[in-house]
Structure 1
Amino acid sequence: MVQFKELVESFLVKREYDSLKYLYSLEIDKWHRLSLSDQNYLEWIGAIVSFHCDNKREEAIIKLEQMLVRLNKDELMYLRISNTLLDFFLEEKIMMNLKNVIKQ
């Protein structure tokens, strides 16, 4: 999982979401063998893939909101998910503003 996380971080920094999706598809089959924290990490990546690659934006946001409820605020994963949610909300707002401009 260490190598997976290193690659994920690299793809996230570079915004290579298609590569991230491919990597996620390889790792998801190992779900049942992962620790709870690694399952949370993989679920977070799945939400990012859903948002950026699969155009399941609302589903991704709901998934992250559900994760926040069950995580402890002291965990690093809580911070990552909160940050990702903020990014998603901002991107959605920008898209809505752009659509309004186009309509005018």
Structure 2
Amino acid sequence: MAAAARRKLVLLSVLLSFFIGGAKAACSSGCNLALASYYVWDQSTLTFISEVMNTSIQTILDYNHQISNPDSLQAYTRILVPFSRCDCINELEQLPCPQHSK
């Protein structure tokens, strides 16, 4: 009985090591566009948001027709900010999008 319990414990330890030790945070593969729901801070500008989210001001404006002046945003409102799932936002190293075969 002790040998069977020991085998189960070893098996459980091996399985846990795969789940705990093998996990690594990284950007998901694929280059699909995603939309972030961004709540504007007081005195925030599209210049700041575009730098943080690694996208252009024009791209943000394309998804937010309600913005009339990119230098003056209404605080505490929600805007959509598109970004590529391949890019890690403001990471030291960004992952390139893999080439997809068609």
TM-score category, normalised to shorter length: under 0.3
Give the structure-2-normalised TM-score. Answer: 0.22
Specify which structure has the higher proportion of helix: 1
Give the structure-1-normalised TM-score. Answer: 0.22
Task: Give the number of the structure whose alpha-carbon radius of gyration is greater.
Answer: 2
Specify which structure has the higher proportion of strand: 2
